Amino acid sequence: MKHLPLFGNHEYTLGILGGGQLGKMLCQAASNWDIKTAVMDKARDFPAAHLCHRFVVGDFSRYEDVYAFGKSVDLLTIEIENINIEALERLESEGVAVHPSPKTLRIVRDKVKQKEFYQEHGLPVTTFRTFENAAEVKRAVDDGSLSLPFVQKSRSEGYDGRGVLIVRTDEDIKNLIDEPCLAEKLVDIAVEIAVIAARNHHGEIRTFPPVAMHFHPEANLVEYLYAPAGLGPAIEQEAIQLAQATIEAFDMTGLLAVEMFLTEDGNILLNEVAPRPHNSGHHTIESCSVSQFSQHILAISGMPLIRPELLSPAVMTNLLGAEDYSGPVQYEGIDQCLQKGNVHIHLYGKKETRPFRKMGHVTVLDRHLPRAIEKAKFVQEHLIVRT
Amino acid sequence: MKHLPLFGNHEYTLGILGGGQLGKMLCQAASNWDIKTAVMDKARDFPAAHLCHRFVVGDFSRYEDVYAFGKSVDLLTIEIENINIEALERLESEGVAVHPSPKTLRIVRDKVKQKEFYQEHGLPVTTFRTFENAAEVKRAVDDGSLSLPFVQKSRSEGYDGRGVLIVRTDEDIKNLIDEPCLAEKLVDIAVEIAVIAARNHHGEIRTFPPVAMHFHPEANLVEYLYAPAGLGPAIEQEAIQLAQATIEAFDMTGLLAVEMFLTEDGNILLNEVAPRPHNSGHHTIESCSVSQFSQHILAISGMPLIRPELLSPAVMTNLLGAEDYSGPVQYEGIDQCLQKGNVHIHLYGKKETRPFRKMGHVTVLDRHLPRAIEKAKFVQEHLIVRT
């Protein structure tokens, strides 16, 4: 593959499957370079729909829709993993450049395959066992071969905290997810970290500086994340090398967001990956020398990558739908938050809010990280997503 | 005017007259805040056309087109001065929020009125005389009342270097612009600088850090500009105060780009203003805590302004059409330039290039300004806009 001369060249189209916030931010990045974009998703009022050259209404889980859309573009990428994979495979076999590759997607979207893949490649993961359903898990607990506490994860479709259950007590056993799943040891996590790596087909790899994540206790969503991650140079270097080794193992072209645990005893373990732009990289839009979205486009079009450099400490917080509201969205407190200064608000343009739905994010920059965290907390309290 | 709750609220529409690069970058800024946008310009392939919610084909110099468009939006702004002003006046009288106001536009787009306005308000400008045509100018030179060298400027329609002539020799006299014009003393300019100020209707003013400009000798366009401007704190403070006084004098709501001369004898003189986002503020997208485009939207919608802070030294260079090429555009050297790192390329999406046409811009960030200037020069040499 030569590099695709997408820049300012409307002979070529970048196709994006999924028109949510990631598709939107990919379109925003593409627009700086005058890249022609086509997006497919369910309805014309989706976040990316008004920011592309061509929006196609379609269902990315349907073979026919994905295939037809893919045939109409020159380079195809995704914003979400659960795309119809058979269609992607056929498109790839017919010469459409598909990044991430269907091969990577098949591994990533099955959490068991993903973990087996890491083991095969000598990448550090927690030990785990696989089960077909809740009854099997329960039996293993009963016969003493699986001991509490553990984490149960559905093999597939885990997203935004769905499909993950921490099992500590007998009470939790009653709520087991009744699906093909894995159970992994609950490790003592000091901090969850993420490193986003990018790789192009020449094998050039660039990594973004590590971020540390702080999770919302109920929703199991990132509440805020921050960079620099404050882990010290040795751990940060180790995390970066693990991200590099992981993207190499996948032989990937594009972005790979690598989520890891730093355990209390100082080990880094791979948690999960996402082969696309990711929530843990949203802060890069304002804080880095290149955003994850621009870097993804560079990587998949075969362009040289940019060395990501953190220009300012940054904290990113998700704007989640308030717990008691479902319906047409409105926002409160935007002016108060902006007045704090260096508060970058992104509203995705979703028309309806639901409890904990990701409606937007806010990146706060500040020379002094603790002050940025303070501001991010102010935003969490004062920027209300309600009906 | 209460502030217009545009953010994430599709009950309100921001209308933009002009869909060129400034309209495009306004749409990009609006998209972060999920602001519903409508744009009017001549053709559907204009830069902003695919980045707004509604694009209207129309001619912004036609009364009917501007009026009809203005009636369909809640808040109206412009990317260019030569809009049909009678239509704007009627819209304003009928309650549409129009920023900048037609009153400001009437002053700004006539260079004589603009200079008289500065004199009335005690703002420092070069001395000047007005003339009706080239013959009148020539007569004044002949009778000794106007001495060489001087600068001749058309009263109106000066844009991108058109309508300005530096008259040093008898030879130049032959090329005088034959239009209503002014002639002003040619001052010894040490450096041209610009300060962008923003003001909302509460009277809150924020200014961006001054930039210094380096002009292309032939095209009379900014070749590159840089911030920090390196003028020293006293001069920078004086420039900022002059920008504040100027936006106050206009009683403006919105952005005012204030171009100034720092003369060799250390005085600051007002040159011209633009009541809108401006070429001298493009670097703010990547280098500042708020971009000029976001700040403009905040100002015209009555929101609190953000304190602009320069996060990194920056150099901005325009991508101009190469001298010998006219026709469908293509770009060369993008990969080489990106590889330099921290090189932010903006291609506006104009389909045809012409000599010196503004086709895009590039902002280079670097901790060390001279290194950023070196990189910007590399970009000028290697990023070629041709057919």
What is the full DSSP assignment across B53-73?
SEEEE--TTSHHHHHHHHHT-
Angstrom distance (rounded) from CA B232 to CA B235? 6
Provide φ and ψ at A49, rounded to 5°: -60, -35
Is A149 within 8 Å of A168 (Cβ atoms)? yes
Can you tell me the ipTM of this complex? 0.93
The three-class DSSP label of residue A159 is coil
Q: Is A173 helix (H, G, I), strand (E, B) or coil?
A: helix
Closest Cα in chain A to B299: A335
Q: Are B180 and B133 in contact (CB under 8 A)?
A: yes
CA atoms of B97 and A186, how far apart (whole Å): 58
Tokens of B352: 């045809």
A8 CA: distance to closest CA in chain B (Å): 6
pLDDT at position A223 is 81
**Euclidean distance between CA atoms A92 and A179, whole angstroms:** 31
User: Dihedral through CA B242, CA B247, CA B251, CA B254, nearest 10?
Assistant: -170
Cβ separation of A304 and B335 shorter than 8 Å? yes
CB proximity A53 to B under 8 Å: yes
Residues 6+ apart with CB under 8 A from B190: B261, B262, B263, B264, B266
- Determine the residue of chain A that is closest to B287 in CA distance: A286
- Chain B positions touching A331 (Cβ under 8 A) are 7-9
> Could B331 and A53 be called an inter-chain contact, meaning their C-beta atoms sit closer than 8 Å?
no
B98: which 2 tokens? Answer: 């129009």
B24 at A interface, C-beta within 8 A:
yes
Window B:100-159, CB contacts with A under 8 Å: none
Check B338 against A304: CB less than 8 A apart: yes
Q: How far is CA B15 from the centre of its chain?
A: 19
Cross-chain residue pair A8–B330, CB shorter than 8 Å: yes
Residue B324 phi, psi (nearest 5): -100, 15
**Biggest CA-to-CA distance, chain A:** 64
Q: According to the model, what pLDDT value does residue B159 have? A: 52
List beta partners, residue A54.
Answer: A38
B 32-51 near A (Cβ less than 8 A): 32-34, 47, 50-51
Question: Cβ A312–B311 below 8 Å, yes or no?
Answer: yes
Report whether B271 contacts B110 (CB < 8 A). no
Among B7, B343, B351, select the one facing A331 at the smallest CB separation. B7
Q: Indicate the DSSP class of residue A310.
A: B
Largest CA distance in chain B: 64
Residues A382, A327: contact at Cβ < 8 Å?
no
Across the A:B interface, residue pairs with CB atoms under 8 Å apart total: 113
Residues in chain B: 387
DSSP code, position A110:
S
Cα separation of B290 and B277, whole Å? 13
Q: Which residues in chain B are contacts of A26 at CB distance < 8 A?
A: none
Using a CB–CB cutoff of 8 Å, tell me whether A306 touches chain B: yes
Could you say which residues from 202 to 231 on chain A have a Cβ atom under 8 Å away from some Cβ of chain B?
none
Distances (CA, A) of A88 to A94, A115, B130: 10, 23, 69
Task: Break chain A down into helix, strand, coil percent, rounded to 5.
Answer: 30, 30, 40
Contacts of A48 in chain B (CB under 8 A): none
Candidates B312, B282, B32; CA nearest to A310 is: B312
CB contact under 8 A, A53 and B50: yes
Facing A338 at nearest CB: one of B304, B309, B330:
B304
**Contact criterion met (CB < 8 Å) for A334 and B303:** yes
- Tell me which of A9, A33, A45, A312 to substitute to probe the interface with B (most B C-beta atoms closer than 10 Å): A33
**Contact B347/A at CB under 8 A:** yes
Eight-class DSSP state of B272: E
Residues of B within 8 A of A28 (CB-CB) are 28, 31-32
B381 backbone dihedrals φ, ψ, rounded to 5°: -80, -30
Helix ranges (H only) for chain A are 21-32, 63-71, 85-93, 102-108, 111-120, 134-142, 170-173, 233-249, 284-287, 292-300, 334-339, 369-382
Q: What residues of chain A lie within 8 A of the CB of B344, using their CB?
A: 32
**CA A326, CA B43: separation in Å to the nearest integer?**
40
**pLDDT < 70: residue spans in chain A:** 1-3, 157-161, 219-221
Q: Name every chain B residue with its beta carbon within 8 A of the beta carbon of A347.
A: 7-8, 32-34
pLDDT tens, per residue, chain B with 387 residues: 556 788 998 889 999 999 999 999 999 999 999 999 999 999 999 999 999 999 999 999 999 999 999 999 999 999 999 999 999 999 999 999 999 999 999 999 999 999 999 999 999 999 999 999 999 999 999 999 999 999 999 998 655 557 889 999 989 999 999 999 999 999 999 999 999 999 999 999 999 999 999 877 776 667 899 999 999 999 999 999 999 999 999 999 999 999 999 999 999 999 999 999 999 999 999 999 999 999 999 999 999 999 999 989 999 999 999 989 999 999 999 999 998 989 999 999 999 999 989 999 999 999 999 999 999 999 999 999 999
- Distance from the Cα of A7 to chain B's closest Cα (Å) equals 8
Q: Give how far B153 is from chain A: nearest CA, Å.
A: 34
Judge whether A329 is closer than 8 Å to chain B, CB to CB.
yes
Q: pTM of whole model > 0.80?
A: yes
Give the span between the Cα atoms of A144 and A153, in whole angstroms.
19
Ramachandran angles phi, psi of B109, nearest 5°: -85, 0
Buried b (16+ CB within 10 A) or exposed e, A197-228: bbbbbeeebbbbbbbbbbebeebbbbbbbbbe
On whether any CB of chain A is under 8 Å from the CB of B12, the answer is: no
DSSP string, B22-54: HHHHHHHHHHHTT--EEEEES-TTSTTGGGSSE
Asked whether the beta carbons of residue A303 and residue B335 sit closer than 8 angstroms, the reply is yes
Q: Nearest Cα to B29, choosing from B277, B252, B207, B316? A: B277
**DSSP reduced 3-state for B286:** helix
User: What distance in Å separates the CA atoms of residue B248 and residue B240, rounded to the nearest whole number?
Assistant: 12
Question: How far is the C-alpha of B301 from the C-alpha of B73, rounded, in Å?
Answer: 13
For residue B285, report the phi and psi dihedrals to the nearest 5 degrees: -55, -45
A 172-201 near B (Cβ less than 8 A): none
- A246 vs chain B: nearest CA distance in angstroms? 24
